[in-house]
Amino acid sequence: MMTVYPDLLRGFVSAFWSALLNSVVQLRSNVRSRTAGSPNGEPATDARDWERLWEEALSSQDPLRLFDVLASRLADFGFDQVAYVNFQHSAELMEAAASDKTEDGQPAARRTITYGDDWIEFYGREGYFDDDVLFDLALTNQRPISWDQVQNSFDLTKRQQQIFDAGFDAGHRFGVTIPFHGPLGRVATLSISTSGTQADIPNDPVKVYALSAQFHAMFDALAGSDEIVPPPPRLSEREYECLSWAAQGKSNRDIAQIIGVSDPTVQFHMSNVMKKLKVSSRVSAVFEASRLGLLR
Find the CATH number of the domain harbouring 208.
3.30.450.80
For residue 20, give the amino acid letter. Answer: L
Inside any domain, residue 191: yes
In a domain, 231, yes or no: no
Domain boundary, last residue among 199, 223, 247: 223
Say yes or no to pLDDT of 152 above 90: yes
Q: Give the gyration radius of the chain's Cα atoms.
A: 22
Are the CB atoms for 189 and 145 separated by under 8 Å? no
9 plus 103 within the same structural domain: yes
Which of 169, 201, 223 is a domain's end point? 223
Highest average pLDDT, of 18-22, 205-209, 224-228, 260-264, comes from 260-264
Give residue-wise pLDDT tens across range 20-67. Answer: 444 333 333 333 333 344 444 445 455 666 677 778 777 878 888 888
Please enumerate in sequence order all residues whose Cβ is within 8 A of that of 204, keeping only pairs 6 or more positions apart, or say none.
41
Largest Cα separation within the chain, whole Å, is 72
Residue 36 counted as domain residue? yes
Residue 37 belongs to some domain of the structure:
yes
Cβ neighbours of 279 (radius 10 Å): 16
Residues 6+ apart with CB under 8 A from 194: 78, 79, 80, 81, 173, 174, 175, 200, 201
As a whole number, mean pLDDT of residues 83-96 equals 56
- Calculate mean pLDDT across residues 54-81: 85
CA 105 – CA 199 distance, rounded (Å): 38
What integer pLDDT is reported at residue 109 of this predicted model? 34
Region 3-8: what's the mean pLDDT? 44
Q: For the chain, what percent of residues have pLDDT higher than 70?
A: 72
Same domain, 214 and 253: no
The 8-class DSSP code of residue 170 comes to: T
Q: What is the mean pLDDT of residues 226-232?
A: 75
Closest to 243 in 3D by CA, of 268, 263, 273, 267: 273
- Domain containing residue 251: CATH number: 1.10.10.10
- Verify that 164 and 264 share a domain, yes or no: no
Full domain range(s) for residue 261:
237-291
Q: What proportion of the chain, given as a percentage, has pLDDT over 90?
A: 30
Q: Which residues contact 31 (CB under 8 A, 6 or more apart)?
A: 68, 71, 72, 75, 80, 114
Mean pLDDT, rounded, of the chain: 76
Cβ–Cβ < 8 Å for 215, 53: no
205 or 209, greater pLDDT:
209
In a domain, 229, yes or no: no
Instruction: Tell me if 109 sits within 8 A of 96, measured CB to CB.
Output: yes
111 — pLDDT class (breaks 50, 70, 90):
low
* 256 and 150 part of one domain: no
Q: Using 50, 70 and 90 to split pLDDT, how confident is the model at 184? A: low
Q: Does the structure show a pLDDT above 60 at 98? A: no
Q: How many domains does the chain have?
A: 2
Pick the closest to residue 287 from 1, 7, 3, 8 (CA basis): 8
Q: If DSSP codes are grouped into helix, strand and coil, which group holds residue 194?
A: strand
What amino acid is encoded at 270 in this protein?
M
**pLDDT band at residue 90 using 50, 70 and 90 as cut-offs:** very low
Question: Is the same domain home to 126 and 254?
Answer: no
| Section 267-278 average pLDDT | 94
Residue 254 to residue 257: CA distance in whole angstroms? 5
8 Å CB contact between 186 and 87? yes
What's the pLDDT score for residue 226? 67
Instruction: Output the pLDDT for position 185.
Output: 67
Task: Name the domain boundary from 223, 254, 276.
Answer: 223
Residue 230 placed within a domain: no
Measure CA of the first residue to CA of the last residue in the chain; give whole Å. Answer: 5
194 located within any domain: yes
Tell me whether residue 184 is in a domain.
Answer: yes
